[in-house]
Amino acid sequence: MPLNPEIAARFEELQDIRRHLHACPEIGLETVQTVSFVKAKLDSFGIGYEDIGVNSLLAKVQGRGPGKTVAFRGDMDALEINEETGLPYQSGTAGRMHACGHDGHTTTMLAFAQYLADHRDFDGTVLLLFQSGEEGFGGALKVIEDGLFDKYTIDCMFGLHNWPGYATDQIVISRGSCMASEDRFDLTIRGKSGHASVPHLCVEPFAAVADFIKGAQTIIARKVSAHDKAVISTTQVHGGSAYNIIPDEVVLRGNVRTTEGGVQDLIEESLGQLAQGVAATYGVQANFVYHRKHPVLTNSLPEPAIRAAARVVGEENVLTDELPAMGSEDYAFYTEHTKSCFVWIGNGTDSPVIHNSKYDFNDQVTLVGASFFVELLNEVMQQA
């Protein structure tokens, strides 16, 4: 595998960086120490930076002359999971763990930054975004709200994620949809409470909830094309306090995923109609709230990434026909503002899945990812 030789020569140094970050996980938007560590590394490379969003960092590498502005993003935050790897560098904080590999993504960005600091022989500007709060904390939106696309005219943007189940010399690049949207809904059904022995004197909310749950499953089967991917999951039901009391209120919550924006619209409308229908049928009040958390992540600029990846891992190891993942990524918000591509790099065929207490980032991915970014930058800067 033709890794960039300068990056490959720094493997032990990069491995030490990644393991240091792994042992010091920070959650959500509170990546204070991680940002401080990244700043110190950028200072040593002679690369300038600015704070952006909430505890995110934007580094800027200026080439030899005017040209395109190309952005790359790596996330930094960990998860609220108790690590069970037993590794010598495992998390030093109980209940917190880099179980998604963002320690490795940050290290990959630093490897790329160090290379750029030594090789500014390109025309244009490279922005390196070290982002907090990817794991459901709105980190990308904070960066956008703080003016990323107002301050800079970004011609294109790229990101990556390690992916267990694929070999480390495999890069997955989707044409079109790459990862699903994530929506969330809340349904509050309110009836009239009373003793369980006299349900005819009450307005019982659970029957309406049961019909809503059942009806939601028919939306995928009867309204969504078999050619489209979508998931509706009921994830919480809360109500009642005793065996012999029919409660006033039951609260239901759920999660929706799809890889098509039109299907997203259809599901939101259909769930709302279903809530109104069960309310009318059972004589209860229904308050339905639908929240779009992440849009569909769609690759609008896959071809340069495919060519760059082939130079690093070989054409046979660039996979372009994989199905989109039903997980979501807040990187998707950036794709609404500029041309973009987001890729997966294999973390090993035997790697535990992400968000698992026994997961660990494969340090080989840092070399592949940083080498890929170097080739990708060359590819993009050479295009008219």
Residue 11 belongs to domain with CATH number? 3.40.630.10
Looking at the fold, whether 41 and 112 belong to one and the same domain comes out as yes
| Whole-number pLDDT of residue 261 | 87
Largest Cα–Cα separation, the chain: 82
Which backbone phi and psi does 157 adopt, to 5 degrees? -145, 145
Looking at the fold, whether 173 and 199 belong to one and the same domain comes out as no
CA 213, 228, 268 angle in degrees (round to 5)?
45
DSSP codes, 274-323: HHHHHHHHHT-EEEEEEEEEE--EEES-HHHHHHHHHHHH-GGGEE--PP
Looking at the fold, whether 328 and 360 belong to one and the same domain comes out as yes
Looking at the fold, whether 277 and 320 belong to one and the same domain comes out as no
Report the CATH number at residue 222: 3.30.70.360
Looking at the fold, whether 363 and 376 belong to one and the same domain comes out as yes
| Contact status, residue 192 vs residue 295, Cβ threshold 8 Å | no
Burial profile 178-199: b = 16 or more Cβ within 10 angstroms, e = fewer: bbbbbbebebbbbbebbeeeee
Picking from 294, 316, 333, the residue at the C-terminal end of a domain is: 294
CA pair distance 328, 295, nearest whole angstrom: 8
Instruction: Mention every residue, 6+ apart, whose C-beta is less than 8 A from residue 172.
Output: 163, 166, 319, 320, 322, 343, 344, 345, 346
| Contact status, residue 159 vs residue 127, Cβ threshold 8 Å | no
Number of domains, the chain: 2
- What are the residue ranges in the chain where pLDDT is below 70? 1, 384
Looking at the fold, whether 19 and 94 belong to one and the same domain comes out as yes
| Whole-number pLDDT of residue 382 | 81
Looking at the fold, whether 130 and 98 belong to one and the same domain comes out as yes
Looking at the fold, whether 121 and 221 belong to one and the same domain comes out as no
| Whole-number pLDDT of residue 384 | 59
Looking at the fold, whether 275 and 191 belong to one and the same domain comes out as yes
Instruction: Kindly report, residue by residue over 142-196, the tens digit of the pLDDT.
Output: 999 999 999 999 999 999 999 999 999 999 999 999 999 999 999 999 999 999 9
Report pTM: 0.94
| Whole-number pLDDT of residue 25 | 98
Which uninterrupted H or E stretch holds 60? strand 56-62
Looking at the fold, whether 97 and 194 belong to one and the same domain comes out as no
Picking from 243, 277, 294, the residue at the C-terminal end of a domain is: 294
Picking from 294, 329, 346, the residue at the C-terminal end of a domain is: 294
Looking at the fold, whether 188 and 253 belong to one and the same domain comes out as yes
CA 126, 306, 326 angle in degrees (round to 5)?
95
Instruction: Kindly report, residue by residue over 322-363, the tens digit of the pLDDT.
Output: 999 999 999 999 999 999 999 999 999 999 999 999 999 999
Looking at the fold, whether 133 and 159 belong to one and the same domain comes out as yes
Domain enclosing residue 289, as ranges = 181-294
CA pair distance 314, 317, nearest whole angstrom: 6
Taking the alpha carbons of 353, 359, 361, 362 in that order, is the dihedral positive or negative? negative
